[in-house]
Structure 1
Amino acid sequence: MLSDPFSDLEALTRGLLSTGSNRAPRFMPMDLCKIDDHYVLTADLPGVDPGSVDVSVDNGMLTISAHRTARGDEGVQWMVNERFFGSYRRQLTLGEGIDSDRISATYENGVLTVTIPLSEKAKPRKIEVAHGGEQKSIETTTVDAG
C-alpha cells in the first residue's frame, strides 16, 4: 500500500491556517543574546494589548505572557483570516548567576525587550596574583687573580 508523504504536511497546514473564532497564538518567536554583563531577550508580540504584557520571575523561572484581543467583526465575510488572537505564554529557566531583582522590560512597536543582568558574583573579574616573597638580589664579588 502506497502512502502520500505530503498528507501529514497538508493536515498540519490546514490546522495552522484554519479559520474560526477560537484560534490561539501558536508561538512567540524570540532571540536571546549575551552583551557584556547582561542577557537581552527580544520577543515578537505584534498586535498584543500593551497593558496585557506581563513579565515575572518566580523561583528562577522567567514567565512572559501577553494577550491579543479578538476583533468583534460580526457580519464580516472573511476572505482570509490568518492572524491569531488569544494568550501568549513562554517560560524560561534562569540559571545561576542572574540578578533577578534588576531584570527590566520594555514593549515598543510589537517587540518585547527583557534585559537580564548577571549578578556581581557571576561577572568576570580580574584576579590579582600575589608574589611569594621579595626578590633577593645576588651580590657578586670580584676576585683578583693577579
Structure 2
Amino acid sequence: MATRYDPFFDMDRLVGQMFGSVSAAAVMPMDLYRAGDHFVMHVDLPGADPGTIDVNVEDRTMTVRAQRTPRTEDDVQWLAHERPSGTYARQVTLGRGLALDAISATYADGVLTLTIPVAEDAKPRKVEIQHASTPAAINATTHEDAPTT
C-alpha cells in the first residue's frame, strides 16, 4: 500500500501556549483538501474583524492570525457570554513542493480561504522515451567464422 504525500503537518502549539486547554481547532477550525494542482484551506473566522486577519509565511510555517473584538456595551446584564474574543492564531507547517510565493487569500462570510499552488518542479510529469530511428544491426558470428589468432 502506497503512502500519500501530505505537505501539511498541523501545529497548534501557539494557540495551546496562549490559551492553555483551548485548542486551535475549537477556536479556528479549518478544512484542507487538494484540488488538482493546488491545496485549498478554509478557516472559520466568524465575527473576526476583517482588518485584523493576517496570514504570514516564514520559512515553512504559515501563521493565520485574527482578532474578535468583545462587545462592550454599557448598562447590560449578560445572561450568556460564550463567544470567545481576543487574538487567535493557528500555525500550519507547510511541506516541500509548494509555491509559497503564489499563495492567495480571500475572506467572505466569516471564512478565510487560502489557495496554495503546488510548485512547478513538484508536479508529476511524463518522461518521453526516445526511440532510435534506425535499429542497430547485430551481427552474429558462428564458431567456425571466428578469427583465429
Normalised to the residue count of structure 1, the TM-score between the two structures is 0.72
Q: What residue number does 2:125 align with?
A: 125
* Alignment deviations for residues 21-66 of structure 1 (CA, whole Å, 9 cap, x no partner): xxxx952100000011000000000000000000111101111000
* Alignment deviations for residues 83-109 of structure 1 (CA, whole Å, 9 cap, x no partner): 111111001111010111100101111
Distance 1:86 1:132 in 2: 68
**SS at 2:79's partner residue?**
coil
The one-letter amino acid of 1:71's match is: R
> Where does structure 1 differ by over 4 angstroms across 4 or more consecutive aligned residues?
none
Q: What residue number does 2:93 align with?
A: 93
Distance 2:115 2:28 in 1: 17
- Correspondence 1:103 to 2:103: yes
Distance 1:130 1:107 in 2: 49
For the structure 1 residues 36 and 49, does the alpha-carbon distance in structure 2 shift closer, same or farther, using more than 3 Å as the test? same
Equivalent residue runs for 1:1-146 within 5 Å: 26-131=26-131, 134-135=134-135
Structure 1 residue ranges without an equivalent (≥5): 1-14, 17-24, 138-146
User: What is the RMSD of the two structures over their aligned residues, measured on CA atoms?
Assistant: 2.2
Structure 2 residue ranges without an equivalent (≥5): 1-20, 138-149
**SS at 1:56's partner residue?**
strand
Aligned length: 115
The one-letter amino acid of 2:86's match is: G
Distance 1:136 1:50 in 2: 69
Structure 1 or 2, whichever has the larger Rg, is 1
